[in-house]
């Protein structure tokens, strides 16, 4: 009986994780000269790749989000800074179906950035 209950609980938790993933997927406008990032699932994690940009200095096809896993109510992973050419810890928080708030951490400093879905 306990084993069956544990299986049901694990199934419910994995279903909740998948629902959270689906809302995160798709093309997001990063707000920097119309830079569009495609968020997708690779294995068990969310990743993001730049698929287009009006900025000629942006490398289309570059991975900008990696290793994002659901921890509690937020997704935690790493985001790439084009300016600094390095990876930073970050959280993704879906505010609504069209608003993604990203908090980037660099030591004791954090910065919030908002991406929009068209």
Nearest residue to 64 via CA among 33, 95, 30: 30
pLDDT tens-digit map of 62-74 = 999 999 999 888 8
pLDDT tens-digit map of 12-49 = 334 334 445 677 899 999 987 899 999 999 988 999 99
CATH of domain 2-116: 2.40.128.520
What's phi and psi for 9, nearest 5 deg?
Answer: -60, -45
Residue ranges per domain, the chain?
2-116
User: What's the chain's average pLDDT?
Assistant: 84
Q: How many residues does the chain have?
A: 118
pTM: 0.80
């Amino acid at each position: 009986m306990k084993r069956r209950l544990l299986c049901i609980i694990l199934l419910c938790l994995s279903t909740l994780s998948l629902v959270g993933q689906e809302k995160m997927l798709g093309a997001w406008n990063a707000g920097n000269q119309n830079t569009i990032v495609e968020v997708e699932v690779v294995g068990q994690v969310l990743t993001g790749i730049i698929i287009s940009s009006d900025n000629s200095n942006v490398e289309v096809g570059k991975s900008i989000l990696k290793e994002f896993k659901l921890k509690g109510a937020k997704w935690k992973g790493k985001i790439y800074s084009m300016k600094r050419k390095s990876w930073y810890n970050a959280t993704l928080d879906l505010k609504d179906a069209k608003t993604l708030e990203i908090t980037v951490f660099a030591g004791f400093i954090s910065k919030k950035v908002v991406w929009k879905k068209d």
